[in-house]
Copies of this chain bind each other. A is one copy, B any other.
Amino acid sequence: MTSDTANPIEIDLFTALEDKGLRKTSARSAVLTRIESANDAFTAEQLCRDLPEVGRATVYRTIRHLVDAGALCKLPILDGAPMYSIARVEHHHHTICSKCGAVGEFRHSTVERVMRSLGKEIDGEIVGHRMEIFIICNQCLSGANDGG
């Protein structure tokens, strides 16, 4: 929430693009800066609205690059647009508040263990998994969102 420490994630996003041999432009910098400043997950359209000076196509392209580089997670959770969140943890899962839409991350070793034990029951070779936990977040539980 506070911004009194240098954030290593910023470097990660820029590095992710550099590693792909992409140029550092002002449009991309604007997108990356906005992504960092979002502590919540966001949609592509949200970024477009927040960054009217950056073209829609560029916003979508930059997001695609970052997902491609593994720096962003794409969460196809809603009926409409998918959400994106910075991939802070190597392998993780997401919590999604059913009321306010806030997205969180967590790791749990048992989930990975379950995956391995499932191997026997499943008709093929497991190459990945995804899990989303739907919650009512503490903020919403405490009534912070009752006006909605």
Residues on A lying within 8 angstroms of B by beta carbon are: 76-79, 95, 97-98, 104, 106, 108, 110-111, 114-115, 117-118, 121-138, 140-141
Q: A115-B133, A126-B134 are in contact. List 4 more A-B contacts (CB 8 A).
A: A122-B135, A125-B135, A130-B132, A131-B132
Also in contact, A121 and B106, with CB within 8 A (given A76-B76, A114-B111, A114-B114) = yes
Also in contact, A114 and B110, with CB within 8 A (given A127-B135, A134-B128) = yes
Inter-chain contacts of A134 with B (CB < 8 A): 126-130
Q: For the complex formed by this chain, how many copies does it contain in all?
A: 2
Residue ID in chain B nearest A110 by CB atoms? B114
Residue ID in chain B nearest A75 by CB atoms? B76
Partner of A95, one of B98, B122, B136: B122
Cα separation A83 to B116 with both chains bound (whole Å): 26
Inter-chain contact B124/A97, CB cutoff 8 Å: yes
Give me 18 A-to-B residue pairs in the complex whose CB atoms sit less than 8 angstroms apart, sorted by A's number: A76-B78, A76-B79, A95-B123, A106-B118, A108-B114, A108-B118, A114-B114, A122-B133, A122-B135, A124-B136, A124-B138, A125-B141, A126-B133, A127-B134, A128-B133, A128-B134, A129-B132, A131-B132
